[in-house]
Amino acid sequence: MPQIKIYKQDYISTPAGRVWKAFSHNPFALVGLWGVGFLLVLALLAPFIAPYGANEQNQQVLLLPPSWDPAGHVEYFLGTDDLGRDIFSRILHGVQMTFGMSLVIVSCALFFGFIIGAISGMMRGLKSSILGHLLDALLSIPSLLMAILVVAVIGPGLSNVFWAVGIAMVPQFIRTIHQAVHDELQKEYVTAARLDGANDLQILLYVIMPNVWEVLIIQVTMAISAAILDIAALGFLNLGAQAPSPEWGAMVAQGLDNLLLAPWTVTIPGVAILFSVLAVNLVGDGLRSAIAPIRK
Q: What is the mean pLDDT of residues 290-296?
A: 65
237 pLDDT band (50/70/90 cuts)? Answer: confident
On the question of pLDDT at 270 being above 60, the answer is yes
Q: What is the mean pLDDT of residues 217-238?
A: 89
In degrees, rounded to 5, the angle at the alpha carbon of residue 268 between the alpha carbons of residues 107 and 40 is 30
On the question of pLDDT at 3 being above 70, the answer is no
pLDDT for residue 56: 87
d(CA 249, CA 228): 9
Helices (H), the chain: 15-24, 27-49, 87-95, 101-121, 126-139, 143-154, 158-184, 188-195, 200-202, 213-236, 248-255, 264-295
pLDDT over 70, % of the chain: 90
Cβ pair 82, 265 in contact under 8 A: yes
Q: What is the pTM of this model?
A: 0.87
On the question of pLDDT at 269 being above 90, the answer is yes
Q: Which of 43-57, 143-157, 280-294 has the highest mean pLDDT?
A: 43-57
Higher pLDDT, 108 or 204: 108
pLDDT for residue 10: 60
Q: Which of 251, 225, 219 has its CA nearest to residue 238?
A: 251
277 pLDDT band (50/70/90 cuts)? Answer: very high
Q: Which of 272, 270, 258 has its CA nearest to residue 85?
A: 258
